[in-house]
Amino acid sequence: MSDLGFTWRTHKSGELQIFHRGKLATTLRGAKASDFLDLAASGDTGAAQQEAARLTGNYKRGNERLAKGHPRNA
């Protein structure tokens, strides 16, 4: 489960854009961008994908299975 659909692009200005399935999800600047790039450069693709999910808020929160069985969602 190392590929969650996130890609990223850096710019000369130091900005880091994170894309989810080809659409812009967030833009990072400063220390957050630097920390993320350090993690991505470490070679652990799975960890970089998970961190991108955390930074963009695009991750499962654990309640999806419970909500699926709720009567209003049936």
In this model, does residue 18 exceed pLDDT 90? yes
Segment 36-57, tens digit of pLDDT? 999 999 988 899 999 999 999 8
64-74 mean pLDDT: 71
pTM of the model: 0.74
In sequence order, the 6+-apart residues with CB closer than 8 A to the CB of 49 are 2, 3, 4, 6
5-11 mean pLDDT: 94
Q: How do the domains of the chain map onto residue ranges? A: 6-58
Report the amino acid identity of residue 17. Q
Confidence of residue 6 (pLDDT cuts 50, 70, 90): very high
In this model, does residue 25 exceed pLDDT 90? yes
